Amino acid sequence: MKITPDRFRLAVQAAFTLLSLYAGYRFILFLNWASGRSDAFVPKPGAVEGFLPISALLGFRRLVSSGFWDRAHPAGLAVFLAALIMAFLFRKGFCGYVCPVGFLSGLLERAGRRLGMARIPPRRVDLALHVFKYLGMGGFVFAVFAMGPRSLESFLRSPFNMTSDARMLDFFLHPSGMALAVLAALALLSLIVRNFWCRYLCPYGALLGLFAWFGPVRVKRDRDACVHCGKCSASCPAGIPVEKKDAVLSPECIGCGRCVGACPVEGCLGFRALGRRIPWQTVAVGAVLVLLIARVWAGYAGVWDNPLPPDMLKRVYQAGAGLM
């Protein structure tokens, strides 16, 4: 079986999704111990903090203003910084290869295509809908950076923030009727509109897209070799009109390479960095390496795991998350 950019991306995304599920399972075991439902101690897996982007943004704000690393969710800050570096160096590699939500969104987009439903709205509507995720991103960034030092420290050390991962897990394990209705609506919209959540609503993806916009890697098209078949544009999950661009700079590009794999003309489309052609695998491999390096460095530097002793951490979760 030929390894195409699309298949390679699916394999990497599936692997990270399975790792996320395993981290979630380990976190459940940790909470069982913290609540007294189990006597077997299981260390809290730092990877679950990757699902706390707002807390990570707060930690980033503290790092910028004071130079101190947030110890409430240290791994979350490491993942956040890795995602920013990843976005600048390898497009929106976090969205395209790591994020489990992006993986599920992609599966719904594929299902929508097979059902003949997945579409991109007319340009004016499409641009108008993009505003929502940038407004969300701007709101979060403004709120975080407008906080005074005392308010920031107070929130970071609050039981609410320190146990926010437990509430996040509870949301997934015991969603309310309203939450289920919203998730069902998003799933239906994702069948009708390509990658609806990622395209119009995800503020995290909006921030990463801005970093990717200034990065060195991009898809380049050979205008003379192009036969204007439209396969590249049709295959793009972000709906970018690749066949009309000499270089894809859009903040919506996730570096998936589907356009490169769909192009029937050898050498017409390809990734380039600093004027040089690079293999399409570079984006995926580079994104994974950035995350792995961040994990190894954070562990070596002692900024991956929460430094509180297990018994103290247990009391924090019992008080802050109501685990009794």
CA distance 80 to 66: 18
Edge-to-edge strand ranges of the sheet holding 269-273:
247-248, 217-221, 269-273, 276-278
Contact of 59 with 72, CB cutoff 8 Å: yes
Span 132-178, pLDDT tens digits = 999 999 999 999 999 998 999 999 989 889 999 999 999 999 999 99
One-letter amino acid identity for 201? L
pLDDT of residue 322: 66
Using alpha carbons, select from 318, 257, 306 the residue that is nearest to residue 286. Answer: 257
pLDDT of residue 275: 84
pTM summary value: 0.93
pLDDT of residue 73: 95
CA distance 100 to 50: 11
User: Which helix (H) or strand (E) element contains residue 276?
Assistant: strand 276-278
The whole-number mean pLDDT for each consecutive block of 10 residues of the chain, a chain of 324 residues, reads: 87 96 96 91 94 94 92 95 96 93 92 88 91 95 92 90 92 92 94 92 95 94 93 91 93 93 93 92 95 96 93 87 62
Strands 276-278 and 269-273: antiparallel
What are the φ/ψ torsions at residue 255 (nearest 5 degrees)? 70, 25
Residue 92 DSSP code: S
CA distance 58 to 183: 26
- 216: number of Cβ within 10 Å: 13
Contact of 63 with 69, CB cutoff 8 Å: yes
- 121: number of Cβ within 10 Å: 16
Residue 69 DSSP code: P
In the chain, the N- to C-terminal Cα span, in Å, equals: 52
CA distance 292 to 301: 14
